[in-house]
Amino acid sequence: MTIREIQEEILRLKKEKNICILAHSYVAKEIQEIADFTGDSYALSVKAKDTDADTVIMCGVRFMAETVKILSPEKTVYLANGVAGCPMAEQMDVDSISAVKQMYPDYAVVAYINTTASLKTICDVCVTSSQAVDIVSKMPEKNILFIPDCNLGDYVKNQLPEKNFMLLSGGCPTHAKIDEREVLKAKAAHPNALFLVHPECKPEVVKHADYVGSTSGIMNFAKKSDAKEFIIGTEISITELLQYDCPDKKFYPLTKDIICSNMKATTLVDVYNTVKGTGGEEIVLDSETITRARKCIDKMIELGE
């Protein structure tokens, strides 16, 4: 079968079976083309809450599929490829964070959405990179334990000097491996380009940015900007998507190896098999986990509106 034929079969089957397909902007373009919604972590969480499909297929990583199940427990939710996890989400667990909470009981726990469902059960609120600053600024608590990403945590901390932050050493291996020398090299090669960066990058990278924001934030900034050249400091798919969306502008990846292998694990055939009912992994969470984890996701949606 050709890519086009597989896409057409997926579109036919998902209509017949009332399936909604969600795809993060980092997954392959041929998957994004057949998705009902594409976007960053925040946009996908909101769409997950609103869809009235019976079944949702997440083309992204495990914590995203878990978020859909938590928000819509009555739906059947699949992760299109069960091996697609987020290494950052696996870095901290309930036991380690419970121990920190015991030592610092007067700190509110803010969890990046890139955490497991079970860890969310002991956190006060979730955030995504697109609204982390806004949400933490609206919290009444002054003392904030921000987990797991210390780079995003550092960025939020710098925007909110009125709060006390405690950060732990977690982070995204894909973004955190970029170092300052690569930024200086890219800027020297493209002196007229604006530098747009994701806050999962290290502070010494972020400090050179003309704009810091989530995946969608970076895309919207580049589309609206009058500038003609941009260095993109996030997953390589975003450079490619922007080239399609704005053929009159030039986009340079900060480095060619900012690739999240987990986001790239899902193939169009995985999606096809999941839609047919012969593939994917169904997300199963117990009702207590769903109820307790939902509180901090609902709080994120409430404060983020």
Residues that bind ligand SF4 (CB under 6 A): 61, 86-88, 114, 172-175, 235, 260, 262-263
Q: Which is nearer to ligand SF4, 7 or 262 (CB)?
A: 262
The string of DSSP letters for 115-130 reads: S-HHHHTT-SEEE-TT
Question: Is 172 an interacting residue with respect to ligand 13P (CB under 6 A)?
Answer: yes
| Partner from ligand SF4, ligand 13P, none binding residue 78, C-beta < 5-8 Å depending on class | none
Q: How many CA atoms lie within 13 A of 170 on its CB side?
A: 23
Q: What is the dihedral of CA 82, 197, 35, 279, to 10 degrees?
A: -10
In the complex with ligand 13P, which residue's Cβ is closer, 112 or 272? 112
**How long, in residues, is the chain?**
305
Q: Pick one of 45, 129, 151, 274: the residue that binds ligand 13P (CB under 6 A).
A: 129
Which of residues 66 and 235 has its CB atom nearest to ligand SF4 in the complex?
A: 235
* Contact between 300 and 126 (Cβ < 8 Å): yes
Binding flag, residue 41, ligand 13P (CB under 6 A): yes
Contact range with ligand 13P by CB under 6 A, out of 128-136, 202-210, 221-229, 248-256: 128-136
φ/ψ bin of 142: left (φ > 0), alpha (ψ from -120 to 50), beta (otherwise): alpha
In whole angstroms, how close is the CB of 190 to ligand 13P at the nearest point? 23
Out of ligand 13P, ligand SF4, none, what residue 115 binds, judged by CB under 5 to 8 A for its kind, is: none
Question: Edge-to-edge strands of the sheet including 211-212?
Answer: 211-212, 194-197, 229-233, 250-253
Asked if 40 is part of the footprint of ligand 13P (rule: CB under 6 A), the reply reads yes
How far does Cα 133 stand from its chain's mean position? 16
Contact between 237 and ligand 13P by CB under 6 A: the answer reads no
When binding is defined by CB under 6 A, the residue of 86, 126, 186, 241 that contacts ligand 13P is 86
| Rounded (to 5) percent helix, strand, coil in the chain | 45, 20, 35
- Single-letter residue type at 143: N
Under the rule (CB under 6 A), what is the footprint of ligand 13P? 40-42, 86, 114, 128-130, 172, 200, 214-215
